[in-house]
């Protein structure tokens, strides 16, 4: 088995479906690989299967799609997880081909959007191309259920530490501000109310299921709070500092940060449990040895 056969198999699964966004991602990236715009290589630094693939720009500026030996060795015709992982990376490569600048800046809002989009494409691929043909792995089931039931909220928090609903709320505020629909003071007001709402929702110690959503919403809130403050303060650090000392913004953001810190071990334990379960599921049940 060589890697291009896996890509061909992905191609034949995709040619039997009809979701345009996924077909478009596949054909553009497949073409770029065949044109040598992207090199596909095995990387000895990658070990397991679930994290067995990534995209990286090499020293001479060329995009590489890298995979682990285990990824290649464990692939077989009945395996859907390999294809799911591959379409996720294809989605990143597609974004890279379309917008290199945005892709290369991880602090950029676009970068978060691209990660969310890759996971969303992966979910649609699982649901519309794989679910009725393969015995899905537990991880794929989880991704698909989150797509069907909660707009990708739990799975995005789990895999990308981003709450999509919180992230898009900030983007919406940003849009209102840029379009002059709301002014600076109205944004402060909205942020304060959102902070209260978040703290209020998890007043009681969250149960195990709420824990993940709390972590996602809180860390996304903290991350994009400073982003939006910089935006409305014309990127002036002094102005942002002043905004942050507004009593309610300072108080809520500190409170949220301390809850995040206090629960850090619980969050990590809970998240690691999923990865452990998924990797075990793949190793013991799902991959049929040749």
Give the nearest distance from C-beta 232 to Zn ion in angstroms: 30
- The continuous run of DSSP H or E covering 206 comes out as none
Give the nearest distance from C-beta 190 to Zn ion in angstroms: 30
Give the nearest distance from C-beta 125 to Zn ion in angstroms: 13
Give the nearest distance from C-beta 160 to Zn ion in angstroms: 7
B/e letters for 59-91, b = 16+ CB within 10 Å, e = fewer, are: eeeebbbbbbebbbebbeeebbbbbbbbbbbbb
Tokens of 100: 């290199």
Q: 38-42 and 63-67: which strand pairing?
A: parallel
Give the nearest distance from C-beta 161 to Zn ion in angstroms: 12
DSSP 259: H
Q: Indicate the residue among 118 and 240 with the shorter CB distance to Zn ion.
A: 118
Q: Is there binding between residue 118 and Zn ion (CB under 5 A)?
A: yes
Q: Indicate the residue among 120 and 127 with the shorter CB distance to Zn ion.
A: 120
Tokens of 131: 């679910």
Q: Where does the chain have alpha helices with state H?
A: 3-15, 20-34, 69-74, 81-98, 100-103, 109-125, 138-149, 153-160, 164-178, 184-201, 208-232, 237-244, 247-262, 264-281
Q: Indicate the residue among 112 and 263 with the shorter CB distance to Zn ion.
A: 112
Cα distance between residue 123 and residue 209, in whole Å: 21
Q: Indicate the residue among 160 and 252 with the shorter CB distance to Zn ion.
A: 160
Cα distance between residue 260 and residue 199, in whole Å: 11
Separation in Å, CA 131 to CA 25, 125, 135, 136, 240: 19, 9, 7, 7, 48
Stretch that binds Zn ion, among 111-119, 161-169, 205-213, 281-289 (CB under 5 A): 111-119
Q: Indicate the residue among 6 and 118 with the shorter CB distance to Zn ion.
A: 118
> What is the number of the residue whose Cβ is closest to Zn ion?
118
Q: Is there binding between residue 93 and Zn ion (CB under 5 A)?
A: no
x/- mask, Zn ion, residues 214-253, rule CB under 5 A, reads ----------------------------------------
Cα distance between residue 151 and residue 290, in whole Å: 37
Q: Indicate the residue among 93 and 231 with the shorter CB distance to Zn ion.
A: 93
Give the nearest distance from C-beta 118 to Zn ion in angstroms: 4
Q: Indicate the residue among 108 and 233 with the shorter CB distance to Zn ion.
A: 108
Give the nearest distance from C-beta 91 to Zn ion in angstroms: 8
Residues that bind Zn ion (CB under 5 A): 118
């Amino acid at each position: 088995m060589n890697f291009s056969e896996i890509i061909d198999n992905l191609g034949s699964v995709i040619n039997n479906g009809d979701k345009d966004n996924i077909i478009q991602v596949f054909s553009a990236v497949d073409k770029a690989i065949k044109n040598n715009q992207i090199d596909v290589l095995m990387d000895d630094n990658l070990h397991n299967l679930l994290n067995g693939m990534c995209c990286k720009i090499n020293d001479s500026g060329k995009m590489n799609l890298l995979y682990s030996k285990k990824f290649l060795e464990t692939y077989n015709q009945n395996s859907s997880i390999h294809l799911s992982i591959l379409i996720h990376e294809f989605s990143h490569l597609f974004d890279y081909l379309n917008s290199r600048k945005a892709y290369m800046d991880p602090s950029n809002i676009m970068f978060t959007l691209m990660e969310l989009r890759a996971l969303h494409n992966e979910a649609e691929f699982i649901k519309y191309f794989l679910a009725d043909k393969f015995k899905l792995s537990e991880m794929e089931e989880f991704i698909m259920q989150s797509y069907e039931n909660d707009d990708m909220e739990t799975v995005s928090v789990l895999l990308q530490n981003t709450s999509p609903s919180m992230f898009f709320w900030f983007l919406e505020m940003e849009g209102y501000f840029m379009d002059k629909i709301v002014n600076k003071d109205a944004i402060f007001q909205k942020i304060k109310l959102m902070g209260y709402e978040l703290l209020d929702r998890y007043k009681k110690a969250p149960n195990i299921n709420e824990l993940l959503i709390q972590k996602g919403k809180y860390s996304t809130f903290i991350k994009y709070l400073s982003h939006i403050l910089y935006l409305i303060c014309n990127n002036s650090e002094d102005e942002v500092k002043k905004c942050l000392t507004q009593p309610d913004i300072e108080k809520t953001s500190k409170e949220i940060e301390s809850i995040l810190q206090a629960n850090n071990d619980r969050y990590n334990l809970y998240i690691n449990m999923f990865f452990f379960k998924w990797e075990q599921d793949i190793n013991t049940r799902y991959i049929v040895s040749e």
